Every structure is written in structure tokens, then in C-alpha cells.
A and B are shown apart, each in its own frame.
Chain A
């Protein structure tokens, strides 16, 4: 189950400790966000674990190395998710020539550890959603991942994606419609 950020929002003290180079604070920061960043990357890169690990590492290294410059004018998570969006876009650009539609085999990597214990019908639904999500074009996949994994507001998503809230709303709306159509065809 996806949870909101608020229960694990990083404190100003930890950010301040990070700015002073405190390694334990870096670890706390990493622990607070790692699964969300990794999950976005994994869904974004069609279940490619190596690509998701590389992207997660890249995002946190940039975050740690740049945190001394973080002045708190924008929210911390806005900056974090802007790094995530940039890393996803760069990864997508590099992968473009060889990118292919997600196959069931690749998307299966995304099955949760407890998937075998779940009800069969529910697992089938989740599998369909993952496949449909992976097949969405990048511009619609990214806002949906930010919305449902991070529970970001339209304003936060607009800041992370460097676009207007209207654009976010439009992409989410169109992404939902495309997802619904793909799910219909997968079922």
C-alpha cells in the first residue's frame, strides 16, 4: 500500500546535519526516501532493477553533494523530486533508441514479495495495472507515478516537472484515460 510522505517527512534538523556533512544524517535522509525513489525508478524503467538502482544511487549522490547549497526556499521534497524527474528523463533519452514496450516478463519483476499470498484476482489486477503503466508514454507515466507513489500536490508536481499546474492536470487526466483504455484491452 502506498503511503503519503507526511509520516516520514524529513526534519529540518536532519537536513541541517546533512549540510554539516554528518554521515548518519545522510543515512537517515536516504532511509526516509529510498523506497519511494527506487519504486518510481523501477516502474518508470519497466522493472529494470539495474537501471532503477543506478538512478536511485545517482539521485541520492546528487542530493548529498548538493545539500549544502539547499537554502530551503523551495520545499526539500520538491528539489528531491526534481532530481528524480531529471534522472528519469535523462534515462529515458538514453534508452530511447532501444526502448521497447514492456513485456509481461519484465513487468513481473515488479510483483511484491507477498504477491503469492494475495488473492489471485487482485494479483491479476495489479499485474495489469503495472503492465499498462509501463506502456504509457513518458510524459504521462511520470506524473502518474509522482501522484500515486508520492502523493504530491499539483503544485509540487509542477515544480518538480518544471511546468505549469495546468499542464500537470492535463497530463494526469490524459494519462488516466490512456491507462483505462489499456486496462480494458489487457483484461
Chain B
């Protein structure tokens, strides 16, 4: 049989694929249209040139600050600009913006759509790290970089991109909500981690960090009980509700709960998971209940096929 597998023919990719790729590349590097500038702007620019002359030596001896391209839309007005490390970008109720994660040293790795009433800051842009801070509001990220290169800091967590698309919200009090639409995101905070796949969400809370992830199609009762458990000391009764409401797919939630419940409740969570999905070969019940990291990882990898 292995010989038969090796004999399977390689299929030639249609030429149309490269044509489509080239078209997409051309679109992404198309020059931005020039925007009209009023006369006073030119006067200010002339003054600026003089000031720049005085600062020339200083600027020539320093490398240029990394910057991302920004297109900001306010009603029908479109403004093109850049945001540099340390700078803030703020939208009001009638404007939104798109940031292209791009600079000469790293290329184009994705886009961030900044919703109205949002405040973000560019924290870092270097080859090994692209980092944005979301102080409040909502962003939608679509990232094609290798995993663990793009980070979004919020008041209650850091979203680590693992090759994905997602939205992240943060309110005035620092509470957050991550919703993943493609791939995976890891939410991390002070040693606490939640792995969130496409179709799932996770709430975050200041001083607590990420809650327990859940699929968006999980029952409302399960989602409410998780909120109680994670952020309102819901305790045993909240866990009872989660266990009762869980479907096969909700083993995502149960797997995370295993290491978050009190030791006395761990066996109940374990039993519910194996009720829903039999324990795979190679996963030891004892080690899982002892929260052995390698065992939990192996178990998660197997369960993930149901997510």
C-alpha cells in the first residue's frame, strides 16, 4: 500500500493561480493617490523645511523610526498618513481607520481595521516583533505573518497571533472580548493562557486576565456560567452548569477548565470530557489529573480535531 501511495501522481497547478497572486500583489503595492493640500499647508511646509534643515544633522545620524501606513476615513474624507512607534491613533464616533502592518524592513504582514471610538498606540515595529496597544474600542486584525510576531496588548491581556484573523474589544474599564474568525490566537497574561480557535471567543478582565474560551454557538447558559466562574466567583454551581451544557465541541472550554477549577472539582471536569470524547491513546488519566503539561498538550492536540 505504501508503494501505491508513493505512486500517486503530482497534479500540475493551473497557471491561473499565479495570475491571481500577481494581481493581489499588484493591488497591495499600488501607489496611494495623492491628496490635495490647501495653500496654508504649503506655507507651513516651507517653515517646516527650514526647521528640518536645522535638525538635519541629528536626523541623518539616526535611523528612521519604523512606521505603519494609516488610512483614516472621516465621513467622505480620506486621509493618508503614518503612525510611528510611541504615537497614538484615535478615532471618534464618525471615523474609522485602517493600519497596514508594513515598513521597509518587514514588508506587508497584514491589516488592522480600527473601529469608531477607538484609541490605539504603536508600541514596537522591528523584524521579530510588531506590537500594538489597544487602550479602548475595537480592532479587527488580519495577519499573515509567521506565528508569534504580532501582538496586541490590552489592559487585561496580550493577544498573540498564531496566524489568524480576529476582533478584539476593550471597554473603558479595561474589560475585553476576543473573537477569532480564522486560525488561532493565544491570550496571555501573567502566566495565565487561553488558546482560542476560529469560531470561539474569550473574555478578559483587568487583574484577572483571560477567562475560559468558549465557542460562539455554545448555549447562553454555558456562556453565562463561565462569566460567573471566571470573574464573579461563581464556583461549583457555575461549573455544574458548564458541565451539564457542554457538547463535544465544548471540550475546548472543559480542557481549559481542568486546570482552573479547584483540585476537588477536577475529576468531575475530567469525567465529563471523557464522557464526550473517549480518552485518546497515549493520554494517561493520572497524568492528566496531575496537570502534567506534556499530557495536557497531547490531549489538547487530539481534542482539537473536534473543535
Contact = CB atoms under 8 A, between A and B. Distances in A.
Contact of A166 (B20, B128, B146, B282): B282
Contact of B149 (A69, A86, A164, A167): A69
A43 B9 CA distance: 11
B286 interface: no
B5 A71 contact: no
A93 B199 contact: yes
B12 interface: yes
Contact of B1 (A39, A137, A162, A179): A179
Contacts, number: 144
B6 interface: yes
Contact of B4 (A23, A67, A110, A125): A125
B278 interface: no
Contacts of A138: 305
A53 B6 contact: no
A38 interface: yes
A39 B301 contact: no
Interface string B101-144: 00001111110000000000000000110000000000000001
A180 B1 CA distance: 7
Interface residues of A, number: 64
Interface string B1-24: 110111111111110111011001
A112 B9 contact: yes
B24 A90 contact: no
B66 interface: no
B282 A170 contact: yes
A43 B5 CA distance: 12
A167 B301 contact: yes
A42 B11 contact: yes
Contact of B17 (A2, A57, A133): A57
B144 A66 contact: yes
B10 A86 contact: no
Contacts of A90: 182-183, 198
A68 B301 CA distance: 30
B289 interface: no
A38 B18 contact: no
Nearest to A138: B305
Interface in A106-155: 110, 112-115, 125-126, 129-130, 133, 137-139, 144, 148-149
B11 A164 contact: no
A163 B297 CA distance: 8
Contacts of A148: 2, 5-6, 8
Given A19-B107, A69-B106, A62 B11 contact: no
Contact of A36 (B10, B20, B24, B145): B10
A101 interface: no
A21 B302 CA distance: 39
B28 to A, nearest CB: 7
Contact of B11 (A110, A144, A163): A110
A142 to B, nearest CB: 10
B163 interface: yes
Contact of B107 (A42, A56, A69): A69
A8 B214 CA distance: 43
Contacts of A49: 14
Contact of B28 (A34, A65, A66): A65
B11 A38 contact: yes
A68 B18 contact: no
B12 to A, nearest CB: 6
B25 interface: yes
A64 interface: yes
Contacts of A23: 25
B163 to A, nearest CB: 6
29 contacts: A21-B107, A26-B25, A34-B17, A35-B10, A35-B13, A37-B13, A39-B10, A43-B8, A53-B16, A53-B17, A56-B13, A56-B17, A57-B21, A60-B21, A62-B163, A65-B28, A65-B110, A68-B109, A69-B109, A69-B127, A69-B146, A70-B146, A71-B128, A82-B147, A114-B9, A125-B4, A126-B4, A166-B282, A170-B281
Given A3-B10, A61-B144, A170-B281, 14 more contacts: A1-B10, A23-B25, A38-B14, A53-B16, A57-B21, A65-B109, A67-B107, A68-B127, A112-B11, A139-B305, A144-B5, A162-B301, A167-B298, A176-B1
A-B CB proximity, top 4 nearest: A68-B107, A112-B9, A38-B13, A62-B144
